[in-house]
């Protein structure tokens, strides 16, 4: 029915157009040009208005989501409903995920032991008094012997600054904030972890490194720890997080 009505309308328009051209050719051309110009003009005005409106509304919505609790609630809902709390990482990409309660099943262990991974991260979701969910992140470089190895012991360590830099790029990163905490006892920070960390938590900086084709072998690190000690490291660094300090 819809197609029939459309064809009928198009046929009427065609016949009307043909009639005007045959009987009022000169006037028809003037009218056609006038209507065409006006249509283009009104379309341009409408497009400019829409673009301005969309731009203002986008900025407003971004500011609203950034400073409102709605964004927090959405994030916390997604966190609470996340089923898999262990993610296997290879070349900065999650290649497999599983829940801790299924980890030591016979078939699951066979599957896990067949994986080629750089490391995996166990995420322990902790709801704080202010209703924000902070994720404690424990890093593993090999499959643990039993479930007790997943115990989370938070470190009291903090850094005044942890600056990652190249020749013309620099960023100060935080391993603990109101969303995540990597200061977990026995966590080891190395180059593979740092690449993953930047890609997931400082993606703009990571993208700039990739776009400029900068090699991670040129990476340098400057640390000022909580005792105001200064350390300079290169891309072959490894830092082990201890309960109250760190080891190189």
SS3 state of residue 126: strand
Query: Using an 8 Å Cβ cutoff, are 46 and 59 in contact?
Result: no
Residues 6+ apart with CB under 8 A from 101: none
CA pair distance 66, 55, nearest whole angstrom = 16
CA pair distance 179, 133, nearest whole angstrom = 7
CA pair distance 125, 146, nearest whole angstrom = 20
Residue in 142, 139, 150 with CA at minimum distance from that of residue 190: 139
| φ, ψ of residue 153 in degrees (nearest 5) | -120, 110
How confident is the model at residue 134, as a pLDDT?
A: 87
How do residues 95-154 score in pLDDT, each as one tens digit?
999 998 888 888 889 999 999 999 999 999 886 656 677 899 999 999 998 888 999 999
CA pair distance 174, 195, nearest whole angstrom = 14
pLDDT band at 79 (very low <50, low <70, confident <90, very high): very low
Any idea how long the chain is?
Answer: 248
Distances (CA, A) of 26 to 14, 29, 36: 18, 5, 16
How do residues 175-184 score in pLDDT, each as one tens digit?
999 899 999 9
pLDDT band at 76 (very low <50, low <70, confident <90, very high): low
How confident is the model at residue 227, as a pLDDT?
A: 87
How confident is the model at residue 162, as a pLDDT?
A: 96
Q: Which two tokens stand for residue 6?
A: 């459309």
How do residues 20-73 score in pLDDT, each as one tens digit?
666 655 565 566 656 655 666 666 677 677 666 666 666 666 665 555 555 555
**What secondary structure letter does DSSP report for 184?**
B
Going edge to edge, which strands form the sheet with 188-190?
188-190, 238-241, 246-247
Q: Which two tokens stand for residue 90?
A: 């290879």
190 burial type by CB count under 10 A (0-12 exposed, 13-18 middle, 19+ buried): middle
How do residues 158-192 score in pLDDT, each as one tens digit?
999 999 999 889 999 999 998 999 999 999 999 99
CA pair distance 54, 51, nearest whole angstrom = 5
Query: Using an 8 Å Cβ cutoff, are 89 and 196 in contact?
Result: yes
**Mean pLDDT across the stretch 195-221?**
94
Taking the CA atoms of 36, 38, 40 and 43 in sequence, report the sign of the dihedral they define: negative
**What secondary structure letter does DSSP report for 143?**
-
């Amino acid at each position: 029915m819809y197609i029939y009505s459309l064809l009928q309308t198009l046929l009427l328009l065609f016949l009307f157009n043909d009639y005007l051209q045959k009987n009022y050719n000169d006037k028809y051309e003037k009218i056609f040009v006038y209507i065409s110009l006006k249509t283009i003009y009104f379309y341009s005005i409408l497009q400019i208005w829409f673009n301005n409106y969309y731009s203002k509304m986008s900025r407003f919505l971004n500011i609203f989501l950034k400073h409102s609790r709605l964004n927090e609630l959405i994030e916390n809902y997604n966190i609470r409903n996340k089923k898999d709390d262990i993610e296997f990482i290879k070349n900065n990409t999650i290649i497999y995920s599983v829940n801790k309660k299924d980890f030591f099943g016979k078939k699951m262990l066979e599957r896990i032991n067949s994986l080629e991974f750089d490391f995996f991260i166990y995420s322990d979701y902790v709801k704080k008094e202010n209703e924000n969910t902070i994720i404690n992140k424990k890093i593993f470089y090999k499959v643990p012997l039993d479930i007790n190895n997943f115990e989370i012991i938070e470190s009291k360590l903090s850094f005044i600054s942890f600056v990652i830099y190249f020749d013309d790029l620099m960023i100060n990163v935080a391993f603990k904030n109101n969303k995540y905490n990597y200061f977990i006892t026995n966590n080891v920070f190395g180059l593979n972890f740092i690449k993953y960390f930047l890609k997931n938590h400082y993606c703009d900086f990571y993208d700039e490194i990739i776009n400029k084709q900068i090699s991670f072998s040129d990476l340098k690190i400057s640390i000022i720890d909580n005792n105001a000690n200064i350390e300079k490291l290169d891309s072959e660094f490894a830092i082990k997080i201890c309960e109250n300090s760190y080891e190189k």
